[in-house]
């Protein structure tokens, strides 16, 4: 076997990969592992994106790891602070030395004979290929393409005489002082960029095809800052996490159950923020709250810039780019020196790797996800995939805990292979990302694994339910095969339920 064999290989050194590695160190201290990271630095998203104002759109008390409190003052932290937090977490837990930087994983192949994974990775600096083997593989690559975002082909792009700048590849030397800027999009990137650039630009226009639900959120949590003065830091952190999880869950479930009521609530908040300085049609989506992600506006900065006249919003479709800007289908022309297409992500699972099992390619669209942690039919492999309706990292923690529990059980019982099997044909049509109908999810329908219609194949997007499932329920649940052995947990549960009834009807 290769000298580069590890018990566990983790692909990706972002928030998910570092979190997984820290849980391994804490809960499986005897396991050898390595993290393969394509970039030259850890941090993932927070190392990649460098555009002005880059920040979290989740509060840091739930975005921080459960084992290491976020101690910064900002609820919505900037990208550099988040990267520093991840770096310090890796250092504290002694995982940084396990990262192999500059390695792009190209293939991942499972051998049922050898009962291990073989990965090939290209060193992008030297062009050399390295081979790794592992008993367990964990994908922590996020869900989008790091090489490029999604950008439509706009008619007349070559006619535009100014600069076109992609947020995902922001040039460090871009000077937009005194310039007219048009940001295309209305998602989290645009909502962050527009007010930040307005501080220096002559004027910024946010051009959107359709509005997004917005929610102003203070960047400083005064209640938690007070609690830190009178309580131990870890206690204050847990209280803040519990409160923010409850608030997020409440807003999501109420939006699903009472969409008209929540729509009026959100629009009422925005109307007060706008204060008559902009037409409310620019803030009134044609879908229900949480059919797409809610966008957070830090300290109401977007609304403040609107009221000051530094920002304007146009809701229209693009007819074409012109030499001096953009012509809209309504006939209006937007003058621009710089155009920024903040038009969304390009979904990519497992960093573009196409895994094989005994020589057969795994087509993710044809597979169902098990407990949102493993893929049906893929042996001894996990996939860390966070939430879409609350902080990503909440799921990272409990998914990592589950995988550690699974590996510890396998060691205790002498098992070498774990694979989830869907023998009941539970596959549904919803993707792993749930019922969200954002454009980037619809575009990726052909490459996302499916949820099932019941049981552990159905994704709940419910943190409290997932805590119960992943942290406390038995590993051997009747769906997971260990070395080809399927437990009879479900049969036993059914028998336990029927035994009193059988006894009453027929006697003991």
Considering the domain architecture, whether residues 139 and 173 belong to the same structural domain is answered as no
Write down the pLDDT at residue 40: 95
Instruction: Please tell me the total count of domains within the chain.
Output: 2
Write down the pLDDT at residue 504: 36
Considering the domain architecture, whether residues 329 and 416 belong to the same structural domain is answered as no
Say if 503 falls within a structural domain. Answer: no
- The residues of the chain scoring below 50 in pLDDT are 1-2, 490-508
Say if 502 falls within a structural domain. Answer: no
Domain residue limits at 442: 5-147+346-490
Considering the domain architecture, whether residues 358 and 482 belong to the same structural domain is answered as yes
Give me the chain's average pLDDT, please.
Answer: 90
Say if 28 falls within a structural domain. Answer: yes
By CB atoms closer than 10 A (0-12, 13-18, 19+), residue 193 is: buried
Half-sphere exposure (Cβ direction) of 363: Cα atoms closer than 13 Å: 4
Write down the pLDDT at residue 439: 66
Considering the domain architecture, whether residues 262 and 376 belong to the same structural domain is answered as no
Q: How far apart are the first and last CA of the chain?
A: 56
Write down the pLDDT at residue 262: 96
Say if 496 falls within a structural domain. Answer: no
Report the length, in residues, of the chain: 508
Considering the domain architecture, whether residues 182 and 323 belong to the same structural domain is answered as yes
Considering the domain architecture, whether residues 172 and 301 belong to the same structural domain is answered as yes
Write down the pLDDT at residue 212: 94
Say if 504 falls within a structural domain. Answer: no
Considering the domain architecture, whether residues 182 and 119 belong to the same structural domain is answered as no
Please give the model's pTM, rounded to 2 decimal places: 0.91
Q: Which two tokens stand for residue 296?
A: 């957070």
CATH of the domain at 106: 3.50.50.60
CA dihedral sign, ordered 284, 285, 289, 292: negative
Considering the domain architecture, whether residues 241 and 328 belong to the same structural domain is answered as yes
Considering the domain architecture, whether residues 141 and 165 belong to the same structural domain is answered as no
Considering the domain architecture, whether residues 427 and 445 belong to the same structural domain is answered as yes
Mutual angle of helices 15-27 and 79-92, in 10-degree steps? 20
Say if 237 falls within a structural domain. Answer: yes
Nearest alpha carbon to residue 105 among 78, 123, 79, 88 = 123
Question: Bridge-partner residues for 117, per DSSP?
Answer: 110, 134
Write down the pLDDT at residue 461: 81
Asked if 339 and 321 count as a contact pair (C-beta separation under 8 A), the reply is yes
């Amino acid at each position: 076997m290769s000298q580069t064999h590890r018990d566990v290989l983790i692909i990706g050194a972002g928030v998910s990969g570092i979190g997984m590695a820290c849980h391994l160190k804490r809960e499986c201290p005897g396991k050898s592992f390595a993290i393969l990271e394509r970039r030259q630095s850890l941090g993932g998203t927070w190392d990649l994106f460098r555009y002005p104002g880059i920040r979290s759109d989740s509060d840091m008390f739930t975005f921080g790891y459960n084992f290491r409190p976020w101690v910064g003052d900002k609820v919505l932290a900037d990208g550099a602070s988040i990267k520093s937090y991840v770096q310090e977490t890796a250092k504290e837990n002694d995982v940084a030395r396990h990262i192999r930087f500059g390695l792009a994983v190209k293939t991942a192949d499972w051998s049922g004979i050898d009962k291990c994974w073989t990965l090939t990775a290209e060193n992008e600096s030297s062009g050399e290929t390295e081979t790794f083997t592992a008993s367990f593989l964990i994908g922590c690559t996020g869900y989008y393409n790091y090489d490029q975002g999604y950008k439509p082909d706009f008619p007349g792009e070559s006619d535009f005489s100014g600069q076109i700048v992609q947020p995902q590849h922001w040039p460090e030397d871009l000077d937009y002082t005194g310039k007219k800027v048009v940001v295309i999009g209305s998602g989290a990137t645009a909502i962050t960029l527009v007010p930040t650039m307005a501080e220096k630009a002559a004027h910024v226009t946010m051009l959107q095809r359709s509005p997004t639900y917005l929610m102003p959120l203070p960047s400083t949590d005064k209640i938690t800052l007070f609690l830190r003065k009178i309580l131990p830091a870890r206690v204050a952190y847990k209280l803040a996490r519990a409160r923010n999880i409850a608030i997020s869950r409440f807003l999501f479930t109420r939006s699903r159950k009472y969409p008209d009521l929540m729509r009026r609530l959100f629009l009422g908040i925005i109307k007060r923020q706008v204060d008559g300085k902009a037409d409310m049609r620019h803030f009134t989506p044609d879908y229900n709250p949480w059919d797409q992600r809610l966008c957070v506006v830090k300290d109401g900065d977007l609304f403040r810039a609107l009221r000051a006249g530094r920002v304007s919003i146009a809701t229209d479709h693009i007819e074409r780019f012109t030499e001096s800007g953009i012509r809209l289908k309504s006939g209006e022309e937007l003058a621009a020196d710089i155009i920024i297409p903040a038009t969304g992500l390009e979904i990519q699972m497992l960093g573009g790797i196409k895994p094989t099992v005994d020589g057969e390619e795994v087509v993710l669209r044809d597979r169902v996800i098990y407990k949102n942690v493993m893929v049906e039919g893929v042996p001894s492999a996990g996939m860390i995939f966070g939430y879409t309706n609350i902080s990503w990292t909440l799921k990272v923690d409990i998914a990592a805990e589950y995988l550690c529990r699974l590996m510890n059980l396998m060691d205790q019982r002498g098992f070498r292979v774990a694979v989830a099997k869907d023998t009941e044909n539970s596959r549904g049509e919803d993707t792993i990302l749930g019922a969200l109908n954002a454009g980037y999810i619809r575009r990726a329908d052909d490459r996302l694994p499916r949820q099932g219609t019941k049981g552990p194949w159905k994704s709940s997007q419910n943190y409290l339910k997932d805590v119960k499932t992943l942290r406390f329920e038995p590993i051997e649940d009747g769906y997971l095969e260990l070395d080809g052995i399927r437990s009879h947990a479900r049969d036993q549960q059914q028998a336990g339920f029927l035994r009193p009834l059988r006894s009453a009807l027929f006697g003991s």
